[in-house]
Amino acid sequence: MKKIIFISLIFLLTKINAQQDFILYHMPSIPQITQVDPASFPDSKLDIGLPIISSVYGSIFNTGFSIGDIFYQNADGTMMPDVDNAISKMSSENFFILNGSTDLIFVGFKKGNNFFSFNVTEKLDFTFNYPKDLIVLAMEGNGNNLLGKRASLDGLGFDFTHWREYAIHWVHDVHHKFSYGARLKYLYGMENFTTDVSYMGIETDQNTHALKFDMAFDFRTSGLPQVMVDGDIPVIGGLNTNDSSAMQQSGFSPGYINNYLFKRNNRGLGVDFGFNYHISDKLLLEASVLDLGFINWNSYTANSKLEAWDYEYDGISNPISIFGDGSSVDFLKDVLEDSIEEDLKNNYSYSNESYSTALRTKIYASMEYTVDHNNFVSLSLYSSFVRGIWRRGLGLAYNYHLGNFLSATASYSIYNRSYSNLGFGVSVNLGPVEIYCLTDNVLAFGTLNPRDNFLSSTASSINIDTKKVRNGQIHFGLNLTFGRDKKEKPVDEADQGRAKAVNSGSDDQNKESSAKDKKSSNSGSSSETNTPKRTNYDSKGNSDKKQKTKKAKTSYNKKTEKKKNTRKGELKTKVEQSAPKSSTARKVSRKL
């Protein structure tokens, strides 16, 4: 009967990926932004990511319920489980998800209006999918709310993928207004556990307690050790751990690690692409599509399949329960072992054929408004296509720049049926060294101290926001960046006016103007009394009378003549430009 229980757990598999990085999407000072926004043009001319520590990402998601949903404090201040409340918060299908990645290599450089980069990134995804009826069945059994109904365990299971990404990336800037970029990725797969079909249902007759089962599954694995049931039925994996030659070829034997890291025959391709368009100096539109691709799995593969199977057993008079009252699971095990084991064998098959899996495609779209040269506000949409269903998210972010030294972002986002996600990110440049740390939900760190949040003496001391947390995420790293463009300081209007007055024309024009002023001064006193006279900044003084009556006047022309002898070329006004030659169509405009 062990095979019955084992198969019943294994066949219930599904796949999903919920990795997103809202906060990184709003941090243009970090070179790794191109991994979520391929059209972003980094600030620096050369970026070098230190191995492993340049980009470390980890996330955990639970879409079913928050920590506060499963605990409450009684009158004595003791933390107590609240299963009924947790069940009420669940949807029919829920997910527990872990994601992780790290850059082994990252190098990027700017050349003219182009930016090129290369990265090698190790990635890992794990997902446990649990339907609501699984929890109800475990806590209440099939004799209460599920009596007379089909307990749906459709989709119960987990998905696991481990792969490495080799990518080359290119961004092109068009007249500092429009940029577009793409990343081509070669994918090397190491392990995979994926499901094509998965459903299971149990129905208990409300009068006779007869059991009806319906079941089907089709799951595939690659690179996993083979697991046998009853010594003769393979269920999981295609790697025979008892075969020393196979263990060496797979890289699991000491001294053969390179076979595991580089020589498995699991290959694929992927592509990212996007664009950024400056509608004006104030408004920027962005869009990107990520992880459009596939992996072919050929090494140590296994395909376990159970055809659609229905069975009815009417020999139980009591309801079945895992924890509650009623017939025990051991009793059910004894019954099913004799009744349906052979029937399952006839519908089950195992093979070692190759297969392919698609990457989990993600889409970002954003609109960013420039408040001034230091402050930016943006609205972003996120969606991920998973098994025919679009999973969506929404984020609002505020970004602040303090020269090239500091960049900080605060955000609020909604995703994974969670509304308590307050993000914060900061990037600091200490010369060529850039250090950054980001999180999509800073509230998640409050759950690391359950004593303060749940075991305090008074219920009022519980952190309400922390209790609602369903997601946690962190992204940090250390880069070396060189050749960042220096920001010019704004110039006062008065300084601009003086600059314009000094630069009133060429030398010939100044001489001509001076001659006209001399003629005007000799035309008579009536002209001086009837017409208000502008200050003649170019006059050297044309009469002794004028010199006597206007001793306090400053001779701007003398200063101009002095500067003219030392200045090379025409004097230019020092004001900020909306699109200087040195700027690019970055994620945010450096200059307004």
> Total structural domains in the chain?
1
- The reply to whether 86 falls in a domain is yes
Tell whether the model's pLDDT for residue 433 goes beyond 60: yes
Contacts of 309 (CB under 8 A, 6+ apart): 213, 214, 215, 216, 343, 344, 347
pLDDT of residue 331: 60
Q: Which sign, positive or negative, has the C-alpha torsion 247, 253, 256, 262?
A: positive
Contacts of 502 (CB under 8 A, 6+ apart): 556, 560, 563, 571
Tell whether the model's pLDDT for residue 371 goes beyond 60: yes
pLDDT (tens digit per residue) in 523-532:
444 444 444 4
The amino acid sitting at 565 is N
| Percentage of the chain lying above the pLDDT 90 cut | 36
Range of 9-13, 332-336, 393-397, 560-564 with top mean pLDDT: 393-397
Task: Of 345, 407, 417, give the one whose Cα is nearest residue 375.
Answer: 407
Instruction: Answer for the pair 399, 408: CB distance below 8 angstroms, yes or no.
Output: yes
**At CA 524, angle to CA 523 and CA 530, rounded to 5?**
105
Q: Which sign, positive or negative, has the C-alpha torsion 584, 589, 591, 592?
A: positive
- The reply to whether 518 falls in a domain is no
Helix (H) or strand (E) holding 560, with range, is helix 556-566
Domain that holds residue 203: 2-223+264-482
Radius of gyration of the chain (CA): 35
Structure-block tokens of residue 196: 């094509």
- The reply to whether 487 falls in a domain is no
CATH number at residue 78: 2.40.160.40
For the segment 9-14, the average pLDDT, to the nearest whole number, is 34
- The reply to whether 318 falls in a domain is yes
pLDDT (tens digit per residue) in 204-218:
887 777 778 888 888
Measured in whole angstroms, how far is the alpha carbon of residue 519 from the centre of its chain? 73
Tell whether the model's pLDDT for residue 494 goes beyond 60: no
Q: Return the bridge partners of 249, or none.
A: none
**Three state DSSP letters for 490-519:** CCCHHHHHHHHHHCCCCHHHHHHHHHHHHH
Structure-block tokens of residue 376: 């930016």
Q: Which sign, positive or negative, has the C-alpha torsion 497, 502, 507, 512?
A: positive
Question: Which of 51-55, 62-66, 163-167, 168-172 shows the lowest mean pLDDT across its residues?
Answer: 62-66
- The reply to whether 449 falls in a domain is yes
Exposure of 376 by Cβ count < 10 A (0-12 exposed, 13-18 middle, 19+ buried)?
A: buried
Using DSSP, state whether 61 is helix, strand or coil.
strand
Instruction: Answer for the pair 193, 185: CB distance below 8 angstroms, yes or no.
Output: no
pTM: 0.72
CA–CA distance, 345 with 186 (Å, rounded to integer): 40
Tell whether the model's pLDDT for residue 413 goes beyond 90: no
Structure-block tokens of residue 405: 């030294």
CA–CA distance, 188 with 350 (Å, rounded to integer): 25
| Percentage of the chain lying above the pLDDT 70 cut | 68
Tell whether the model's pLDDT for residue 84 goes beyond 90: no
pLDDT of residue 28: 86
CA–CA distance, 487 with 112 (Å, rounded to integer): 19
- The reply to whether 364 falls in a domain is yes
- The reply to whether 428 falls in a domain is yes
Q: Return the bridge partners of 106, or none.
A: 49, 119
Q: Which sign, positive or negative, has the C-alpha torsion 309, 315, 321, 322?
A: negative
CB burial readout 520-529, b (16+ within 10 A) else e: ebeeeeeeee
Instruction: Answer for the pair 195, 13: CB distance below 8 angstroms, yes or no.
Output: yes
CA–CA distance, 201 with 199 (Å, rounded to integer): 7
Q: How confident is the model at residue 488 (pLDDT cuts 50, 70, 90)?
A: low
- The reply to whether 177 falls in a domain is yes
Q: What is the DSSP string of 113-180?
A: TEEEEEEEEEEEEEEEEEEHHHHHHHHHTTSSTTBTSEEE-TT-EEEEEEEEEEEEEEEEEETTTEEE
Helix (H) or strand (E) holding 452, with range, is helix 450-454
CA–CA distance, 336 with 5 (Å, rounded to integer): 10
Count CA atoms within 13 Å of residue 292 on its CB side: 11
pLDDT (tens digit per residue) in 345-370:
788 899 999 999 988 888 999 999 99
